Chains A and B, each alone.
Chain A
Amino acid sequence: DGGITQSPKYLFRKEGQNVTLSCEQNLNHDAMYWYRQDPGQGLRLIYYSQIVNDFQKGDIAEGYSVSREKKESFPLTVTSAQKNPTAFYLCASSTIAGGTEAFFGQGTRLTVV
């Protein structure tokens, strides 16, 4: 079955630690996105990529980094520079040309302990 998979579902991070969230899709989508969602709030764009080896900052990129070495994969690293990383992180993918819907992974819930 085609889809988009995020892992892990739950992640705990110690203060000062970097953690990497995985996002893989087998939909042959060119565009991939990372969003952050805080309780009761809307989605905020962290980074997006429309082609391998290229990515663009979204509204809240500070303290995060990404890579896009393969079309299928778009991992997100939450660095120690992100002071308030506790949130729900969602990965999505879509075609570039538009006209079709985006698909989301199940999300990763990150908590700082």
Chain B
Amino acid sequence: RKEVEQDPGPFNVPEGATVAFNCTYSNSASQSFFWYRQDCRKEPKLLMSVYSSGNEDGRFTAQLNRASQYISLLIRDSKLSDSATYLCVVTRFGGSQGNLIFGKGTKLSVKP
């Protein structure tokens, strides 16, 4: 089992839709949690950090549930420009992957 698992996708949604991405992690020693966005043929860029209290940035809401070892990202009123791959990233000191563990990513396509 992978240490970080994401919905396989792809997600194809119409403009204006609400879409939710889920991510689970298996190691309870995981420290920090992030969502990254990767556009085609570009480097991943930080979208949001994820906190237990939940955090919101405009149309984006991220949530962490440590008890269930689960992270989510909600995108409301999706735009064509939201089309990208969304990566769940977990940090854990002393892990076999260095400190960064990536999910495989979930591709989102927003259609007119």
**A binding-site residues for B, Cβ under 8 Å:** 31, 33, 41-43, 45, 48, 50, 56, 58-59, 88, 90, 92, 94-102, 104-107, 109
**A42 near B93: Cβ-Cβ < 8 Å:** no
**B97 near A104: Cβ-Cβ < 8 Å:** no
A96: contacting residue among B49, B89, B93, B104, CB under 8 A: B93
Nearest opposing residue in chain B for A106, CB measure: B43
Q: With A42-B102, A92-B100 as known contacts, state yes or no: A99 contacts B91, CB within 8 Å.
A: yes
**B91 near A98: Cβ-Cβ < 8 Å:** yes
B98: contacting residue among A45, A90, A100, A101, CB under 8 A: A45
Nearest opposing residue in chain A for B100, CB measure: A102
Which residues on the B side are within 8 Å of A105 (C-beta)? Answer: 43
**B binding-site residues for A, Cβ under 8 Å:** 31-32, 34, 41-46, 49, 87, 89, 91-93, 97-100, 102-105
CA distance A95 to B32 in the complex (A): 12
Nearest opposing residue in chain A for B45, CB measure: A104
Q: With A31-B99, A56-B98 as known contacts, state yes or no: A97 contacts B93, CB within 8 Å.
A: yes
Nearest opposing residue in chain A for B95, CB measure: A98
**Beyond the given A50-B98, A94-B91, could you list 12 further A-B residue pairs with CB under 8 A, ordered by the A residue number?**
A41-B104, A45-B97, A48-B97, A90-B43, A94-B100, A98-B93, A99-B32, A99-B91, A101-B32, A101-B46, A105-B43, A106-B43
Most interface-central of B34, B43, B97 (chain A CB within 10 A): B43
> Separation in Å of the B111 CB from the closest CB of chain A?
19
> Separation in Å of the A33 CB from the closest CB of chain B?
6
Sample (21) of A-B pairs whose CB atoms are under 8 Å apart: A31-B99, A42-B102, A42-B104, A42-B105, A43-B44, A43-B87, A43-B102, A48-B97, A50-B98, A58-B97, A94-B98, A94-B99, A95-B99, A96-B99, A97-B93, A98-B91, A98-B93, A99-B91, A104-B44, A106-B43, A107-B43
